[in-house]
């Protein structure tokens, strides 16, 4: 076979492949009855005039424009790779229900903790969360872990305006830092923001809220041991340095010892004289 014939067959093969692709594309874009009409016309032209309409460039002009899905633009401050979600419901201060691509999912905020149902400030934290989220779409960014043991997505949450909700809950004083390895990318930043919120007495750090009081929080003001129980007779488990923020859960009978949890989830008892409480000691529940 000559080079000219070989080239001709290659060109013919390419044209045939292009015609097949055109036909498939037309079939996808047309309704069944429209596609059937096209096949009738194509058969008449091919039999009577030897014309393959699927090879005609002009046919492309008759096609309806392809349907396109608008690509959402990621707002400023939102990490690349974040997924768009629709808010369904605010569960509490650090948990929301969303849909992603029509699938219903629960999201637990990475790196923060707010009061649980039945604790002081539960409603206030949920209201603050709702105010930050607004009514627009959300963007969800993963730290390290996809889901927790309850099947909830673990995410940094951003609004369609680029507001970083996890961060703002701490800045406004409605949340404490909470660290679960390996999801601690922003642990240092969150701890510093909590200190600043405590010093500025924002949110729960003011000692109250507009709704249902304030979760007891404490700021370490002098170095102090964390003990296994309420008193100096109990073993020291670690030393706490000034500037650490903690969540307070109970006090002993005397009110001189407080049961706390640190951001890295260390639990124990500290002397009330070593911390600055956001609420009066009398407002802290007694330990069992």
Kindly report the CATH number assigned to the domain that includes residue 201. Answer: 2.40.50.90
Kindly state whether residues 33 and 90 are assigned to the same domain: no
210-224 mean pLDDT: 97
Q: Which two tokens stand for residue 148?
A: 């927790």
- 133 contacts 87 by C-beta, under 8 angstroms: yes
Q: Domain tally for the chain?
A: 3
The answer to whether position 200 is within a domain reads: yes
The answer to whether position 102 is within a domain reads: yes
Give the pTM: 0.76
- Gyration radius from the chain CA atoms: 32
Instruction: Provide the percentage of residues in the chain whose pLDDT is more than 90.
Output: 71
Q: Does residue 138 surpass a pLDDT of 60?
A: yes
98-120 mean pLDDT: 96
Kindly state whether residues 150 and 118 are assigned to the same domain: yes
Cα 132 to Cα 166: distance, rounded to the nearest angstrom:
10
Cα 70 to Cα 107: distance, rounded to the nearest angstrom:
25
The answer to whether position 70 is within a domain reads: no
Kindly state whether residues 190 and 232 are assigned to the same domain: no
Kindly state whether residues 231 and 202 are assigned to the same domain: no
Q: Mark which of 33, 62, 91 sits at the end of a domain.
A: 62
The answer to whether position 67 is within a domain reads: no
Kindly state whether residues 95 and 167 are assigned to the same domain: yes
Q: Mark which of 142, 175, 206 sits at the end of a domain.
A: 206
Kindly state whether residues 278 and 201 are assigned to the same domain: no
Kindly state whether residues 191 and 230 are assigned to the same domain: no
Q: Which two tokens stand for residue 126?
A: 């949920």
**In which domain, by residue range, is 20 found?**
3-62
Of 138, 124, 139, nearest to 93 by C-alpha is: 124
- Alpha carbon separation from 143 to 103, 140, 165, 179, 186 (Å, rounded): 21, 10, 15, 12, 9
The pLDDT score that the predictor gives to residue 79 is 94
Polymer length in residues for the chain = 288
Kindly state whether residues 188 and 102 are assigned to the same domain: yes
Kindly state whether residues 163 and 227 are assigned to the same domain: no
The pLDDT score that the predictor gives to residue 95 is 98
Q: Which two tokens stand for residue 80?
A: 């690349």
Q: Mark which of 148, 173, 206 sits at the end of a domain.
A: 206
Residue the block writes with tokens 């995410």: 155
Q: Does residue 2 surpass a pLDDT of 50?
A: yes
């Amino acid at each position: 076979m000559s080079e000219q014939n070989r080239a001709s067959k290659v060109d013919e093969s390419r044209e045939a492949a292009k015609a097949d692709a055109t036909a498939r594309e037309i079939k996808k874009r047309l309704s069944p009855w429209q596609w059937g009409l096209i096949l009738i016309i194509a058969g008449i032209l091919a039999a009577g005039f030897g014309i393959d309409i699927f090879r005609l460039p002009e046919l492309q002009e008759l096609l309806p424009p392809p349907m396109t899905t608008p690509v959402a633009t990621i707002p400023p401050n939102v990490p690349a790779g974040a997924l768009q979600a629709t808010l369904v419901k605010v569960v509490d201060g650090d948990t929301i229900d969303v849909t992603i691509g029509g699938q219903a999912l629960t999201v637990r905020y990475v790196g923060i903790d707010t009061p649980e149902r039945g604790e002081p400030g539960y409603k206030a934290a949920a209201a603050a969360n709702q105010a930050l989220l607004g009514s627009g779409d959300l963007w969800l960014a993963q730290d390290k872990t996809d889901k927790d043991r309850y099947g909830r997505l673990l995410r940094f949450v951003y609004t369609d305006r680029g507001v970083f909700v996890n961060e703002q809950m701490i800045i406004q004083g409605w949340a404490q830092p909470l660290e679960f390895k390996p999801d601690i990318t922003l642990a240092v930043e969150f701890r510093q923001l909590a200190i600043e919120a405590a010093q500025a007495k924002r949110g729960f750090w003011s000692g109250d809220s507009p709704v249902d009081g304030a979760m007891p929080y404490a700021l370490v003001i002098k170095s102090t041991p964390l003990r296994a129980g309420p008193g100096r007779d109990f073993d020291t488990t670690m030393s706490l340095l000034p500037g650490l923020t903690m969540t307070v859960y109970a006090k002993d009978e005397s009110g001189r010892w407080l049961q706390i949890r640190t951001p890295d989830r260390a639990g124990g008892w500290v002397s009330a004289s070593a911390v600055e409480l956001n609420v009066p000691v009398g407002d802290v529940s007694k330990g069992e």
